[in-house]
Amino acid sequence: MQKVEEHWVCGGLQQVWRHDSHTLNCAMQFAVFVPPQASQAPCPVLYWLSGLTCNEQNFITKAGAQRYAAEHGVVLVAPDTSPRGEGVADDAAWDLGQGAGFYLNATESPWKPHYQMYDYVLNELHALVLASFPVVDKRSVSGHSMGGHGALVLALRNPHAFCSVSAFAPIVAPTQVPWGEKAFSAYLGEDRAAWQQYDAVALINSGHRVKDLLVDQGLGDNFYEEQLKTGLLKTACEQQNLPHTIRLQGGYDHSYYFIATFVGEHIAWHAKHLCQ
């Protein structure tokens, strides 16, 4: 790995690393915040998955999460949102291609050789973090928008791998909204049955479970009704008796101002689960 940058913040180290990914067949960057407690003993890990158009920088520069991770002794890991670079398939639109990996394993050309973000986050990145940083093998996952979708899907499909899951304004039913329909058609083809494995609402309705989940959704979010459809997640959790806390926050939009307001509560919630 190559260290790209490093900064002291809140008594810990915020770093960005670059490595060659064998899963994605390209160079990738990811951010790691190592809290001060890690100098005394290994710490658990919270993965953060960002949304459309983002990379590893958005969360570490806008959320103010390092203060809370330092308080609770949690390592924060924030990968990029897609493979990137020359030779990696892309699209002129902002909601497909580079910056829009949707945390799935693509099966269609020209995306399949690189767009394997589900396997990358679940397996390769975690193995790299375990081998390279002072962490214990206990992890949780959170994310925003497209990244909230990724967090929910990863946790629902791998309940023994993640101690907890939360999300900010997640795309909860991508098979039923324009963002998801566009991305899934390109990455997974036209077989809608194959789409269900990357749809949190569909997974819950088919019996997938987690111990609990926490979701915050702003009511001032321009994407709330058309793209996010939080109510579908609430209904699925209620019908399947899945423990959940879904909070509708009046006035808040889709931005990192919203995330910065509640990220401390999310990190404290994950820390509680990670320490059990």
Q: Active-site residues: which are they?
A: 145, 221, 254
Dihedral over Cα of 62, 66, 69, 71: its sign: negative
Cβ atoms 172, 91 nearer than 8 A: no
Measured between alpha carbons, how far is 230 from 266 in angstroms, rounded to an integer? 18
H helices of the chain, where?
56-62, 66-72, 117-119, 126-132, 146-157, 178-188, 192-195, 200-205, 230-239, 256-274
Give the separation between CA 210 and CA 77, rounded to whole angstroms: 21
Please give the structure tokens belonging to residue 154: 């990863």
